[in-house]
């Protein structure tokens, strides 16, 4: 961005917004705090980022009873079902009908289900996110 460039847009670059969201995600991970994403439609979602790997994405734990996780056409709503789907591709469906590919990693002691989400897939819905906060 150059000060005398007549073609410079008056709005921030979409890329810059995505980078800001990504930085907030990493900040919550580094602080070992939960993250809350607020969407344009008023939906909020929460998760705990346990690990970040630039090749695999983020390992995020979400409350099992709050979000729908489906594996092989079956809703994962118990420890037994989660164990049967370990390492398998699943779908994490948010209340606002956004679905993300989710590779199930496990369940923690608080009944939160953990799985890997590709960071590029998460960033593909970033245009619908209006805020991200560590909680």
Per-residue pLDDT tens digits for 37-80: 999 999 999 999 999 998 899 999 999 989 999 999 999 999 99
User: According to DSSP H, which parts of 5-130 are helical?
Assistant: 14-30, 79-84, 119-124
Asked if residue 2 belongs to a domain, the reply is: no
Q: In what order do the strands lie in the sheet with 34-39?
A: 74-75, 68-71, 89-93, 99-107, 112-117, 57-63, 44-53, 34-39, 129-134
Residue among 46, 57, 130 at smallest CA distance from 95? 46
Q: Domain range for residue 67?
A: 14-134
Asked if residue 4 belongs to a domain, the reply is: no
Mean pLDDT across the chain, nearest whole number? 87
> In which band, very low, low, confident or very high, does the pLDDT at 21 lie, cut at 50, 70 and 90?
confident
Six-digit token string for 48 = 């705990």
Residues 15, 81: Cα–Cα separation, whole Å: 38
Q: What's the whole-model pTM score?
A: 0.82
pLDDT for 103 beyond 90: yes
Higher pLDDT, 127 or 91: 91
Higher pLDDT, 41 or 13: 41
Asked if residue 7 belongs to a domain, the reply is: no
Residue-level pLDDT at 17: 57
Close Cβ partners of 27 (under 8 Å, ≥ 6 residues apart):
134
Asked if residue 55 belongs to a domain, the reply is: yes
pLDDT for 5 beyond 60: no
Average pLDDT over residues 106-111: 92
H or E element at residue 104: strand 99-107
Domains in the chain: how many in total? Answer: 1
């Amino acid at each position: 961005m150059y000060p005398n460039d007549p073609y410079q847009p008056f709005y921030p670059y979409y890329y810059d917004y995505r980078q800001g969201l990504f930085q907030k995600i990493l900040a919550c991970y580094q602080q070992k705090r939960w993250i809350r994403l607020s969407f344009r439609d008023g939906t909020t979602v929460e998760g705990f980022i346990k690990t970040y790997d630039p090749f695999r994405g983020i390992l995020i734990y979400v409350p099992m009873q709050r979000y729908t996780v489906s594996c092989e056409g079956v809703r994962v709503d118990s420890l037994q079902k989660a164990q049967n789907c370990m390492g398998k591709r699943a779908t994490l469906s948010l209340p606002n009908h956004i679905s993300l590919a989710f590779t199930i990693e496990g369940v923690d002691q608080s009944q939160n289900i953990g799985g890997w989400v590709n960071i590029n897939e998460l960033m593909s819905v970033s245009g619908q996110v209006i805020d991200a906060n560590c909680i």
